A and B are shown apart, each in its own frame.
Chain A
Amino acid sequence: MAFLEINNINKQFGKAVAVKDFNLQVDKGEFVSFLGPSGCGKTTTLRMVAGFETPTNGNIVIESKDVTNKPPNQRDVGMVFQAYALFPNMTVAGNIGFGLKIAKKPAADIHKRVAEMLDLIHMPDFGDRYPYQLSGGQQQRVALARALALSPAILLLDEPLSALDAKIRVTLRAEIRGIQRKLGITTIYVTHDQEEALSLSDRVVVMHDGKIEQVGTPFEIYNFPQTDFVANFVGTLNAVNAEVVDPISNTLRMDGFQLQTAGGLEGRLSGDQVMIAIRPERLSFAAEEKKANILACTIENITFLGSIVRIQVHIGNTNFYMDTFNNPFLELPKIGDKSEVTCSREAVLILSTNK
């Protein structure tokens, strides 16, 4: 039996459906991210696990106990909020020790645990400070320590890095993952940032319009998207319509070009319209190494993105993005140049059938 079970959860606010038929099993110690755009139901689902919202139907089970109708203070979950939510009238130590005080732990135990938590977040000398004397990143670390002080069964994080600047986000997310691994605590992390979800999680739940689109490891989600939405939402994607030429030999036609795919045409007939997708990094110039598919193109635009150079190429009637690693010794083509790009059969993903 899974450590956390979310069974057939639905949530309606009036007539609006926020979450629909949500099912998920999370193992002990697993780090699962809910990823999706604003309004997709990820925070509502997290709040139902925390007990701040009650599901319209379905149930939530933590460690074999049905907690669906239990109030938040009886669920044994720790929560970290986007807005930190530190108590302004209490010091850092007071904030971290708040839950322990509520649990009526002896003063000596509280003191010891607070010190442990301060060490864990690398802020041992900050116990006497007030929240307003801390930076955003420090406040969020204190919020994390506060949530962990009671050793909850599950840690819930609701977009905890959204209010921070880019550099601190990267540092803090590594810290969060490090602490999670060290404590082995089951964690649900809500984010709209795909990089955060992919870099942190054991599994990612991609959500759209209140429903789960796909559940999988970051590798599966990125490389083998199962729906158009996942393919488009996670990473940059070249998505284009193509016609099935021969489903047995996996041949397609796109803007007059023949394309080979590695599979995914089972059950389709010659003449069917399908949507195909190719990740920008799977395309390369044919001059370097020719692969199964070779497409003539014109260079439309070149954008320097630091470690990556994004080249926009015109193939047939469609613009494609192609990513290549920045190499200062490699000569880049010029805008307007004619060239050829290539990609492997495996790079051509079949998303859906278009009638």
Chain B
Amino acid sequence: MNDSKQTRKFPFWSWFWFIIGVLYFILPLYATLDFSLRMERGVLSFKAYERAFSDPEFLRTFGYSVILALVTIIVSILITVPTAYWIRLRLPEARRIVEFITLLPFVIPAIILVFGMIYVYSSPLKFPFTNITLMQPLTTFTFGTDILIVGGYMVLGLPYMYRSVDTGMRTVDVRTLTEAAQSLGANWFTIISSVILPNLRTALLSGALLTFAIVVGEVILASFLGVPTFGPYLFLLGQHRAYEPAALTFTTFLLTWAAMGIIQLVTGGQGQTAGAH
């Protein structure tokens, strides 16, 4: 034992790259925090935070983004979980195609997506082969643009949500759990609600958090669809204010980390999986 301790080398390069990585992430964050505290000359203060939080536009846009994020998360879960579940259970051959589709948001920029959406949904929806209008263009009323932006957010969050759910399903061996539940008399609804979803809690929270982060910070879709969310507000604020955007950026970062902490707290000790150990 002592010999092995003495001969064990200090992992210099591991630590070197680890520290480089940490600095790469921490330094900009520290710079943002430092800058946000220097609104008053010569002293460190929370003045920028006070100003930013007292702006009613901040609360309105942030609240709007949070609501859109929650709707996006719920609809994404309702679509992604049954899809990933069915692919894993019955259609494994479709997995490659679906994985490819989920990667598309990485290669198709948001600007293309939003222009495509505007092009398609700025015309009224008509009954096929007739002139009967079923719905006015979605881009012409607030609820319509809300639907469009939630759809867009779902596309942007798809890689994260699908992969989180799929990885979660791999960890808990959904096929065997499903069969076990079936043999005990459970129907599909009971299997998904009582067995599958509770065991995907960590995966769903991870996917939800990432989707939340994307939605709250998103600028392009919201700007072009004219939806008054937090992203464009922060962008506009940055055009003519210096310290408040930094304060808000740091605040949203803290909120994200708080959410991650909550995930750790909620899921702590529950990460065990079914199957042999």
Do A and B share a complex?
yes
Which residues of A come within 8 Å of B, CB atoms? 50-52, 71-75, 77-79, 81-89, 98-99, 102-103, 130-132, 136, 143, 146-147, 150, 156, 163
Which residues of B come within 8 Å of A, CB atoms? 172-173, 176-177, 179-187, 190, 194-195, 198-199, 201, 270, 272-277
A103 touches B275 (CB 8 A): no
B274 touches A99 (CB 8 A): no
Min Cβ gap B178→A in Å is 9
CB contact under 8 A between A83 and B181, given known A73-B187, A88-B199, A89-B199: no
Q: A75-B183, A83-B173, A99-B184 are in contact. List 19 more A-B contacts (CB 8 A).
A: A50-B179, A51-B182, A51-B183, A52-B182, A72-B183, A73-B182, A73-B185, A85-B176, A85-B177, A87-B180, A87-B181, A88-B199, A88-B274, A89-B201, A98-B181, A130-B272, A136-B277, A147-B183, A156-B183
Min Cβ gap A129→B in Å is 12
Question: Which of A75, A79, A103 contacts B180, CB < 8 Å?
Answer: A79
Q: List 23 A-B contacts (CB under 8 A).
A: A51-B183, A52-B182, A71-B182, A72-B179, A73-B182, A73-B185, A73-B187, A74-B185, A77-B183, A82-B276, A83-B173, A83-B276, A84-B275, A84-B276, A85-B173, A85-B274, A88-B270, A88-B273, A89-B201, A102-B184, A102-B190, A132-B273, A156-B183
Question: Which of B179, B181, B270, B276 contacts A136, CB < 8 Å?
Answer: B276
A85 touches B184 (CB 8 A): no
Q: Nearest A residue to B198 by beta-carbon distance?
A: A89
User: What B residues does A98 contact at CB under 8 A?
Assistant: 181, 184, 186, 194
A52 touches B179 (CB 8 A): yes
Min Cβ gap B88→A in Å is 15
Min Cβ gap B125→A in Å is 40
Question: Which of B182, B184, B201, B272 contacts A132, CB < 8 Å?
Answer: B272
Q: CA of A52 to CA of B173 in the docked complex: distance in angstroms?
A: 16
Q: CA of A71 to CA of B178 in the docked complex: distance in angstroms?
A: 13
Which of B184, B187, B195 has the largest count of A CB atoms less than 10 A from its CB? B184
A78 touches B183 (CB 8 A): yes
